[in-house]
């Protein structure tokens, strides 16, 4: 099941990339694509990529980083955070 809710998280301006994807190491196993509840990993023409605006939706769960055996995904918590910010409820 994937989460598609808009507004669940918000982007803190100025935060740099905190997920670095190395396509040279990727074996296209699809594990990141399957594990990401926010559906931020995609596949096109047989190649994995992360959506350009991932910083707006990423929950900073680190799951994609954990499942990537070849080490194609580097993840670090962004300073200040960009992920889940509960504004309602």
In the complex, which residues of this chain contact ligand SF4 (CB under 6 A)? 26-32, 35-36, 38, 40, 48, 54, 58-64, 67-68, 70, 72-73
Q: Please state the closest distance from residue 3 (CB atom) to ligand SF4, in A.
A: 9
Q: Cβ closer to ligand SF4: 70 or 79?
A: 70
In this complex, which beta carbon is closest to ligand SF4, that of residue 59 or of residue 87? 59
Based on the number of CB atoms within 10 Å of its own CB, is 27 exposed (0-12), middle (13-18) or buried (19 or more)? exposed
d(CA 3, CA 1): 7
Q: Would you state the structure tokens that stand for residue 26, as one six-digit string?
A: 């990727």
Contact between 1 and 29 (Cβ < 8 Å):
no
Task: Tell me how far, at minimum, the Cβ of 51 lies from ligand SF4, in Å.
Answer: 9
**Among residues 14 and 63, whose Cβ is nearest to ligand SF4?**
63
């Amino acid at each position: 099941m994937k989460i598609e809710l808009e507004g669940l998280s918000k982007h803190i301006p100025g935060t740099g990339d905190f997920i670095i994807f190395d396509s040279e190491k990727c074996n296209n196993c699809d594990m990141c694509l399957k594990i990401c509840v926010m559906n931020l990993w995609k596949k096109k023409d047989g190649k994995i990529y992360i959506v350009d605006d991932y910083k707006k939706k990423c929950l900073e769960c680190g799951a994609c980083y954990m499942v990537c055996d070849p080490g194609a995904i580097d993840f670090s918590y962004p300073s200040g955070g960009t992920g889940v910010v509960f504004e309602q409820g």
